[in-house]
């Protein structure tokens, strides 16, 4: 079974530039998550989709971050303009959850995109 795919693996940009990350979840997974992991911290949820609808984006800095999940499959996370404090690993995860979640459903994580803003 193919896992969660993310690209690019690494990205270095200057502050005020824009950047986009791509995620392809596991086939058939209805729920997709984007997490931000700052060095030395645990992952923090930015946005959660179920199919192509947003379930939770309460911690997404909407003045600079945007995300979409067209057709309920792939997703893109964008930052525009980037700030130094956006340097982090951006993790995408997916789970089988749809509607009433069956017990035992877990999230599967991609390898992440390491962003460095200079």
Partner 1 sequence: AQSVTQPDIHITVSEGASLELRCNYSYGATPYLFWYVQSPGQGLQLLLKYFSGDTLVQGIKGFEAEFKRSQSSFNLRKPSVHWSDAAEYFCAVGPSGTYKYIFGTGTRLKVLA
Contact residues: partner 1, CB under 8 A = 4, 31, 33, 35, 40-45, 48, 55-56, 91, 93, 95, 97, 100-101, 103-112
Question: What backbone phi and psi angles, to 5 degrees, belong to 45?
Answer: -70, 130
Element (H, E) at 113: strand 113-117
Our CB check for partner 1 shows the closer of 15 and 28 to be 28
Our CB check for partner 1 shows the closer of 46 and 82 to be 46
C-alpha distance from residue 94 to each of 19, 48, 81, 97 (Å): 22, 9, 27, 9
Q: How near is the Cβ of 16 to partner 1 at its closest, in Å?
A: 28
């Amino acid at each position: 079974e193919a896992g969660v795919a993310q690209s690019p693996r690494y990205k270095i940009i200057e502050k005020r530039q824009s950047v986009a990350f791509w995620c392809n979840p596991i086939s058939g997974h209805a729920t997709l998550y984007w997490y931000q992991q700052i060095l030395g911290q645990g992952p923090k949820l930015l946005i959660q989709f179920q199919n192509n609808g947003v379930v939770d984006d309460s911690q997404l800095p909407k003045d600079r971050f945007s995300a979409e999940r067209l057709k309920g499959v792939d997703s893109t996370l964008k930052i525009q303009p980037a700030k130094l404090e956006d340097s982090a690993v951006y993790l995408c995860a997916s789970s089988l959850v749809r509607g009433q979640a069956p017990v035992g459903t877990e999230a599967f994580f991609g390898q992440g995109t390491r962003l460095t803003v200079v």
